[in-house]
Chains A and B, each alone.
Chain A
Amino acid sequence: MTDKTTTKPAESPSEEAALFPPVDVIEDANGITLYADLPGVPKDRLHVHVEAESLTIEGEVQLSTPTGMDSTHAEVGLPRYRRQFTLSKELDTEKVVAEFDKGVLKLSIPKAAHAQPKKIQIRVD
């Protein structure tokens, strides 16, 4: 966390060590819903990128710590979360909807219209 004062060239953010947030992924006929736990990340520090078929979730933890605090026990040992997923072709990445509330990110990724399941009627002659 104290690294920020050093003058070394800014690394690409994806190179820095980060925690792996737990997720739930549910799929139904309309698409995929992803929930990720990102506690401590304010809304403006959360980044969700979709590039080609790759989805990246990244967030920076910001806690209000009093000055001069010594950490005595830490289970969340890094101030950053990152996780990447590979999407599939039938998902419509243009229509991703993201909601973020109380440290929980909800991403809804719909399936493209042509990929929605169609019920096939069976005719009995």
Chain B
Amino acid sequence: MRYRAIFPRDLFAELNRLQRAMQQSDDISPNIRGSSHGAYPAMNVGSTPTSVEVYAFAPGLDPAGIDVQLEKGTLTLAGERKVEYAGTPEQASIHIDERFAGRFRRVVSLPDDIDADGVQARYRDGVLHISIPRRAAAQPRRITIQ
């Protein structure tokens, strides 16, 4: 447990924390797995007629240590993030501690028409981009009228 300063150093961080606390208390019956708000890694999902694009904002990871699995239409990302300063001497003090550390796991369910064989995953600038093609049969086709 860490002690919080009476006079916050960083007003915006305090407001952020307050907002998070309010969002959590707002929800009368929260999900048993907690709110996905603020989960690591944050995710954006987009789609085009030919593919589903998943972006996981996972900074500071070794790409080889990220476990990406696609099974029965669900995409699972799992791994562990270690803090860089884990071995700091005892006389060091931590003033702000907001970044995620520890094991993570996030699951995304995908549409039915995806082609699991053509998945591509790339890690760049701390973002894991997974591109999953859709099956050709499912893509919209213009029907010519004779």
Contact = CB atoms under 8 A, between A and B. Distances in A.
Interface of A: 20, 22-29, 32-33, 35, 37-42, 62-76, 83, 85, 101-104, 106
19 contacts: A22-B99, A25-B96, A27-B92, A28-B89, A28-B91, A28-B92, A37-B59, A39-B57, A39-B127, A62-B125, A63-B55, A66-B48, A70-B48, A73-B43, A75-B44, A76-B55, A103-B57, A103-B126, A104-B59
Interface of B: 10, 12-13, 16, 36-37, 39, 41-49, 51, 53, 55, 57-61, 83-85, 88-89, 91-100, 123-127, 129, 131
B96 A75 contact: no
Given A75-B57, A104-B60, 18 more contacts: A20-B13, A24-B96, A25-B94, A26-B88, A37-B59, A37-B99, A40-B55, A41-B126, A65-B46, A66-B48, A66-B51, A69-B46, A69-B48, A73-B44, A76-B44, A83-B12, A85-B10, A104-B59
Given A74-B44, A103-B60, A68 B49 contact: yes
B60 A102 contact: yes
A73 B98 CA distance: 24
B48 A68 contact: yes
A24 B85 CA distance: 10
Contacts of A20: 12-13, 16
B59 A38 contact: yes
A104 B44 contact: no
B20 to A, nearest CB: 12
A40 B57 contact: yes
Contacts of B13: 20
